[in-house]
Structure 1
Amino acid sequence: MSFLKIKNVQHTYFTKTSATTALSDVSLEVKEGDFVSFLGPSGCGKTTLLSIIAGLIKPTSGVVTIEDKPIQTDGSQIGYMLQQDYLFPWKTIEENILLGLKLTRRLNLETKLYAFGLLEQMGLAGLENQLPKQLSGGMRQRVALVRTLATEPKLLMLDEPFSALDYQTKLKLENLVSDALTTFNKTAILVTHDIGEAIAMSDVIYLFSARPGRIHKTFIVPEEFRHLAPFQVRNHPSFSELFQTIWKELESLEPAKA
């Protein structure tokens, strides 16, 4: 049974003087535990689709379900990890990672210990009383991941979460996030402009056409990649061939230059 179903989703942004269609007739299914990436030209509606899946935007038409039920608008099913960590600078790391549990009224001794356990798994034990400004960018993103996982969301949304980091930190975080999602059997959707990142982390890659966004092509990542850490995937002999294939498809979607 599919975990997430997106059926005939279309979305148009309306203003007083114009109507802009961001997505047109998008349908796809995601199995539980899968890692899926959305790739495509800028402005093709990837983030709009993420917002629709999260229940932040109601599509103009179409249906999105999780476990055959409508998306809950209280945010309890969805965890979001963004390009910026959005940690509250005046709150300690402990206060930041417990914030989601507190807002959803699920903060108790058991969930607090679970969050602290996640912090330890991310290599951040002992930093509970520090402030975000005392941590590096990569460490803050790990704190943001702990905060997201602490609420035990059914679906994790990753909107270019590594793009603001230096390359070495980005590669380390790819491995760490991939390992964490596998450990907790989380279903995840990644929006990225990085073809290599999509290949290294995903089971399935959806390539979107230019606006209005449609699914142009679906790439199934080779089985042998799925049991490797992202860094190992990047060094696999078949990595370059798949990268070039997706690159050429992405190039064909870009508008012709004068």
Structure 2
Amino acid sequence: MEFLTVNNVHHTYFSNETATEALQNIHLSIQKGEFISFLGPSGCGKTTLLSIIAGLFPPTMGTVLIEEQPVYGNDHLSIGYMLQQDYLFPWKTIEENIALGLTLLNKEQEQIQEITARLLKMIGLPHIGQKFPRELSGGMRQRVALARTLAVDPKILLLDEPFSALDYQSKLKLEDLVSEMLKAFGKTAILVTHDIGEAIAMSDRIFIFSARPGRVYKTFEVPEELKRLTPFKARTHPTYSTLFQMIWKELESLEHGNTSQ
């Protein structure tokens, strides 16, 4: 059984004057524990599809299922969403920010403290629980956002360019941390990114979308020799450069309209 299936999804945005087709005939499936990336030109509907998978709104046509359950309007599905901004509450301590979802789920205080302490240790920040977001760097804040997202044990983690606002060194460190933690928790994840290197270093498969209306143009399987490495080490492997060039050429052809599909 597929973990996640997107079947015949179309989406159109309507206004008083126009109808803009964002997605057209999207079919894809994802296995449990896979890390998937969406790449494509700006405006190709990657974030729209991610929002539909998150259940934020229904597609104009088609279905999205997680373990055969519809995602839209399903209060029993826990879906984690990480964005470019961390959206930590500035008036709450780091512990309180991480514990927010657990508190809303009415978990016991002892359990909340145990989960929060374990996650702080896993993200390499065991002693900052009583600090406030303003006291942390951007990279540290995104680590806390990751911990907050994983605290409620979501079925799937959706990542919408969560590293793009960070300096390069912080970005590489966070890529490694996210990859390590998702494997430790056995989580399925989808990353929307414009960064080819990031997609290759972190993913099992990469879906390339054509320009609006967005369609799945090509799928790349990341070679096993890269999957076995951390994202940082994967970037130094010879296969990484080969795959980077292949994907670069496909994106260039899309940009110039030279596609065979």
Number of matched pairs: 256
Once the two structures are superposed, the pairs formed by residues 182-197 of structure 1 within 5 Å of their partners are 182-197=183-198
Contact 2:6 2:63 in 1 (8 A): yes
| 1:23 aligned onto 2:33 | no
Q: For the residues of structure 2 that align with 1:53 and 1:81, how far apart are their CA atoms?
A: 13
Contact 1:208 1:215 in 2 (8 A): yes
Q: For the residues of structure 2 that align with 1:245 and 1:142, how far apart are their CA atoms?
A: 32
Which secondary structure does the structure 2 equivalent of 1:98 belong to?
helix
| 1:176 aligned onto 2:167 | no
Once the two structures are superposed, the pairs formed by residues 1-258 of structure 1 within 5 Å of their partners are 1-71=1-71, 72-74=73-75, 76-255=77-256
Post-superposition offset of 1:76: 4.3
* % identical equivalent positions: 64
Q: For the residues of structure 2 that align with 1:96 and 1:61, how far apart are their CA atoms?
A: 36
* Deviations 1:127-165, CA, capped at 9 Å, x for gaps: 111000101110000000000000000100000000000
Unmatched runs of 5 consecutive residues or more in structure 1 = none
Contact 1:55 1:75 in 2 (8 A): no
Post-superposition offset of 1:227: 1.1
Post-superposition offset of 1:102: 1.7
Q: For the residues of structure 2 that align with 1:180 and 1:212, how far apart are their CA atoms?
A: 34
Contact 2:11 2:59 in 1 (8 A): yes
* Deviations 1:38-87, CA, capped at 9 Å, x for gaps: 00000000000000000001100000000011115438420011101100
Q: For the residues of structure 2 that align with 1:242 and 1:250, how far apart are their CA atoms?
A: 12
Post-superposition offset of 1:224: 1.1
- Residues 123 and 75 of structure 1: CA distance in aligned 2, closer, same or farther (over 3 Å): farther
Q: CA RMSD in A?
A: 1.2
Q: For the residues of structure 2 that align with 1:132 and 1:76, how far apart are their CA atoms?
A: 28
Q: TM-score, normalised by structure 2?
A: 0.95
Q: TM-score, normalised by structure 1?
A: 0.96
Post-superposition offset of 1:110: 1.9
